[in-house]
Amino acid sequence: MKPRITVAGSVNMDLVFRTPRMPALGETLHGHEFRQIPGGKGANQAVAAARQGADVSFIGAVGDDGFGDVSRQTLAAEGIDLRYLTRVAGVATGVAGILVEDGGDNSIVLAAGANASVSVAQIEAARDTICNAGMLLCQLEIPLASVTHAIQIAHDTGVKVILNPAPAQDLDPALLAQVDYLILNETEATQLSQIEVTDQTSARYAAEKLLALGTGAVLLTMGGHGALIAQTGECQFIPAIKVNVVDTTAAGDTFVGAFAVGIANGLSIADASREAQYTAALTVTRLGAQTSIPQRQEVLDFMAARQAA
């Protein structure tokens, strides 16, 4: 049977510009290409989980505009349950302006739009969807009060919780203590732990501090440098999968979604992380957010080819 995963999170339309480099303040720079691609951390993670074989339900909001229509159609095409994806009248769908330089790194500016309207009441209305899932997946592109309520529902009913605390913000230790898997990057780990993460040693110190707050496990993703997995009394580093990078957009979201499916399927945290690394590695070889997220068979073929090499 497919694992059941509920995602409470954001939906954005990504407006993606390819550039030779990041522009300086006040500079007008000629770009190579422009594309309009469905995105949003919540939606990206939902798509990643669905493509890796999960039965996914989504809690979120879009506006009553063309971007909202396209976003809903895109998620529906993945077979995602959208009963709790609301359409908010008179509000724009969330938008992300993304600059992707030739080396693959990106800079992103968000306008929350309808994402800001995801309320505690909407989360409460979806209580059964959370309680009946095997896993709840949250990020921080919708109001923190709504994320907190979703996590509380899951925690109280024994549903495993994954939190991707992005964009970075300060969080109550009581919330972190209800999280089974905290998946974050160097910037987010630095803000939450108050330890500057620059290498494996500082990553370990930051992870240990976060574990001391009660989080079940910490996965600290470090891009091309790999990922650190920390649990109480145990810490290991998983190297990155080397590929030619085209665009790093949605790599972290793909890792989160794929990891969730691995854990829900009964894999160990290390094995789920390795599969998530392969899935994210394929993502960065392509442009865009949801357009870059691979299907399950692609990941299996990629893993087999790399392991046979």
Mean pLDDT in residue range 220-230 = 91
- Predicted local distance difference test score (pLDDT) of residue 295: 96
Q: Extract long-range pairs of 172-177: CB within 8 Å, 24+ residues apart.
A: 172/148, 173/213, 173/214, 175/148, 175/151, 176/210, 176/213, 176/214, 176/215, 177/213, 177/214, 177/215
**pLDDT value for 291:** 86
Query: Binding site for ATP, residues?
Result: 185, 221-226, 252-253
Q: Could you give the CA distance from residue 225 to residue 133 in angstroms, rounded to a whole number? A: 33
Query: Which CATH number do you get for residue 96?
Result: 3.40.1190.20
How much is the pLDDT for 88? Answer: 97
Residue 41: predicted pLDDT: 95
Q: CA 28 to CA 217: how far, in whole Å?
A: 44
Does residue 286 carry a pLDDT above 80? yes
Domain range for 242 is 4-308
Report the C-alpha gap between 276 and 273 in whole angstroms.
Answer: 5
Burial environment of residue 277 by CB neighbours within 10 A (0 to 12, 13 to 18, 19 or more): buried
- Catalytic, 253? Answer yes
> pLDDT per residue over 20-31, tens digit each?
999 999 999 999
The string of pLDDT tens digits covering residues 82-99 is: 999 999 999 999 999 989
Is the pLDDT higher at 100 or at 178? 178
Catalytic residue among 105, 180, 253, 301: 253
Average pLDDT over residues 94-113: 89
| In the predicted structure, residue 175 carries a pLDDT above the cut 70 | yes
Do 92 and 67 touch, CB atoms closer than 8 A?
A: yes
Binding residues for K(+): 247, 249, 283, 286, 288, 292
DSSP string for 215-270: -SEEEEE-GGG-EEEEETTEEEEEPPPP---S--TTHHHHHHHHHHHHHHTT--HH
* Average pLDDT score over the chain: 94
* Per-residue pLDDT at 231 exceeds 70: yes
Q: Which residues contact 52 (CB under 8 A, 6 or more apart)?
A: 257, 258, 261, 262, 279, 296, 299
Whether pLDDT at 309 is above 70: no
pLDDT recorded at residue 147? 98
- Overall domain count for the chain: 1
pLDDT > 70 fraction of the chain, expressed in percent and rounded:
100
- Checking if the pLDDT of 221 tops 90, the result is yes
What average pLDDT score do residues 207-212 get? 95
Residue 247 pLDDT greater than 90, yes or no: no
Residues in the annotated binding site: 12-14, 40-44, 141, 185, 221-226, 247, 249, 252-253, 283, 286, 288, 292
pLDDT at 232: 87
Measure the CA–CA gap between 63 and 115, rounded to whole angstroms.
9
Q: How sure is the predictor about 118, in pLDDT bands with cuts at 50, 70 and 90?
A: very high
The pLDDT assigned to 106 comes to 82
Residue stretches of the annotated binding site for substrate? 12-14, 40-44, 141, 253
Residues 123, 41 contacting (CB under 8 angstroms): no
